[in-house]
């Protein structure tokens, strides 16, 4: 049943997985995302840095704040450098690449199979050949079949499955954060199909893995209205209380900041409504302190921000025993995230109507009177 509900989302994820990306080399996913958004008929823009901003709306101007779901298009990888870069020389079929983002330590010391991206979206097989230069330079030698076919600089990604579905586990080279991108596209598809009210933004950023760069620039330049509720959507490493298969996680904070209660209110109200319709629907809630996500970039610039996390196995392709492995998420968590986002977009007007908000707002009169009667001098 989960697979049937999530068929559209899984197809989007499969398509994104076939378009590998690394920081600064996000053209593959970006083109697919743009094509999908335009087919939905939503407004689409790109800022000066290549971030994608989509706006769905199906109602007259409203006093309710917009909600924006944000994910990044890149994944940790390598960047094969031009021979002239930093005095490098190309020797035969050996090229030098720099690590971009948190790649597994194994790629500096082991023969790890990789793929180098060609201008026509083809791929050239290769393997790492050990560290190059000083450790702090994060350079790796890469041996390739025919370096003459390369157009440097280019992205180098791990030779892992684009997409596979093994029972209830989705395995991919780059679920962080193509799973976030796919779930946002699928949620927008649902909202557009049912002509749900808006406004709802879908935001797809660049170069997150090297320091939230695209999100920081976009938040700084105020591309979203200042009252927008911003929801970072990301596949994040598993932690106690954020387990694979137990549902998407309402992320109350990350390693840098705790997030906004009102923004989270839309997610909490969505969870309550989903549980009314689907008893047993799984949603977790947790401080995800393993890293910093894009919600913090927007929060720093004054936005009310929160997050959704998909518990992720083999985070950043690091296998438990060393080496490199495909990332994995549970199918239920992925499909559940789509449902949570779609319902959260509908629940923005009710973000202060859940039981928790009511308990805080309504003070029983008998307790008020008792305090007044027993108040001293």
Nearest C-alpha neighbor of 69 from the set 325, 364, 308, 319: 308
H or E element that contains 367: helix 365-374
Structure tokens at 120: 């026509």
| Closest to 248 measured CA to CA, from 288, 208, 193, 215 | 288
Q: What is the pLDDT of residue 231?
A: 98
Of 53, 46, 25, 20, give the one whose Cα is nearest residue 298: 53
Q: Are 326 and 166 in contact (CB under 8 A)?
A: no
Structure pTM?
0.93
> Among candidates 350, 329, 346, which has minimal Cα distance to 180?
329
Distance (Å, rounded) from C-alpha 340 to C-alpha 282?
10
Residue listed under structure tokens 């305090």: 371
Percentages helix, strand, coil for the chain (3-state, rounded to 5) are 35, 30, 35
Burial classification of residue 298, based on how many CB atoms lie within 10 Å of its CB (0-12 exposed, 13-18 middle, 19 or more buried):
buried
Sorted by sequence, the CB contacts under 8 Å of residue 22 that are 6+ apart come out as 74, 75, 76, 77, 78, 79, 100, 101, 155, 156, 157
The tally of CA atoms less than 13 A away on the side-chain side of residue 74 is 29
Q: pLDDT digit string (tens) for 190-218? A: 999 998 888 999 999 999 999 999 999 99
* Torsion angle of C-alpha atoms 118, 47, 193, 229, degrees rounded to 10: 130
Residues of the chain with pLDDT below 50 are: none
Please give the sequence-ordered ranges of beta strands (E in DSSP) within 103-182, or none if there are none. 113-117, 123-132, 139-144, 154-158, 164-166, 169-172
pLDDT at position 116 is 95
pLDDT of residue 92: 61
For residues 215 and 207, the answer to whether their CB atoms sit within 8 Å is no
How far from each other are the two terminal CA atoms of the chain, in whole angstroms? 64
CA distance 257 to 295: 9
Tally of CB atoms within 10 A around 203: 30
Name every residue whose Cβ is closer than 8 Å to that of residue 122 and which is 6 or more positions away in sequence.
Answer: none
Q: Where are the alpha helices (DSSP H) in 47-163?
A: none
* Topology of the domain covering 77-158: Thrombin, subunit H (2.40.10)
Residue 3's pLDDT is what?
A: 66
Residue 359 confidence (pLDDT): 86
CATH topology of domain 2-76+162-355: Aminopeptidase (3.40.630)
Domain spans in the chain, listed from the N-terminal domain onward = 2-76+162-355, 77-158
151 closest CA partner among 223, 82, 215, 62: 82
Let me know: does 339 contact 273? Beta carbons within 8 Å.
Answer: no
CA–CA separation, 320 and 257 (whole Å): 28
């Amino acid at each position: 049943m989960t697979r049937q509900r999530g068929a559209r989302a899984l197809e989007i994820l499969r398509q994104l997985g076939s378009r590998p990306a690394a920081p600064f080399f996000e053209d593959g996913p970006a083109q697919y995302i743009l094509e999908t958004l335009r087919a939905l008929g939503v407004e689409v823009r790109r800022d000066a840095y290549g971030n994608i901003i989509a706006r769905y709306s199906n109602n007259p101007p409203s006093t309710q704040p917009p909600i924006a779901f944000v994910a990044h298009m890149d994944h940790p990888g390598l960047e094969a450098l031009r021979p002239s870069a930093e005095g490098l020389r190309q020797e035969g079929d050996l090229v030098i690449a720099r690590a971009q983002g948190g790649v597994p330590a194994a790629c500096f010391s082991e023969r790890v199979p990789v793929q180098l991206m060609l201008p026509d979206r083809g791929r050239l097989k290769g393997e790492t050949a050990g560290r190059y230069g000083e450790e702090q330079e994060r350079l790796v030698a890469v041996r390739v079949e025919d370096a003459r076919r390369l157009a440097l600089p280019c992205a180098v990604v791990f030779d892992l499955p684009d997409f596979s579905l093994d029972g209830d586990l989705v395995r991919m080279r780059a679920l962080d954060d193509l799973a976030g991108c796919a779930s946002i596209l699928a949620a927008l598809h649902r909202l557009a199909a049912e002509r749900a009210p808006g406004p709802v933004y879908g935001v797809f950023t660049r170069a997150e893995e090297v320091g939230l760069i695209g999100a920081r620039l976009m938040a700084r330049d105020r591309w979203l209205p200042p009252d927008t509720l911003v929801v970072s959507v990301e596949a994040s490493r598993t932690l106690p209380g954020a387990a694979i298969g137990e549902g998407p996680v309402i992320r109350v904070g990350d390693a840098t900041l705790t997030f906004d209660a009102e923004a989270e209110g839309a997610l909490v109200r969505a969870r309550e409504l989903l549980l009314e319709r689907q008893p047993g629907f799984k949603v977790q809630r947790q401080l995800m302190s393993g890293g910093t996500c894009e919600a913090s970039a927007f929060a720093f610039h004054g936005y009310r921000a929160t997050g959704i996390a998909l518990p992720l196995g083999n985070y950043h392709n690091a296998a438990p025993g060393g080496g490199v492995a495909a990332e994995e998420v549970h199918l239920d968590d992925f499909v559940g995230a789509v449902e949570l986002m779609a319902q959260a977009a509908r629940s923005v007007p009710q973000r202060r109507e859940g039981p928790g908000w009511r308990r805080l707002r309504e003070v029983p009169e008998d307790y008020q009177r008792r305090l007044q009667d027993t108040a001293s001098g």
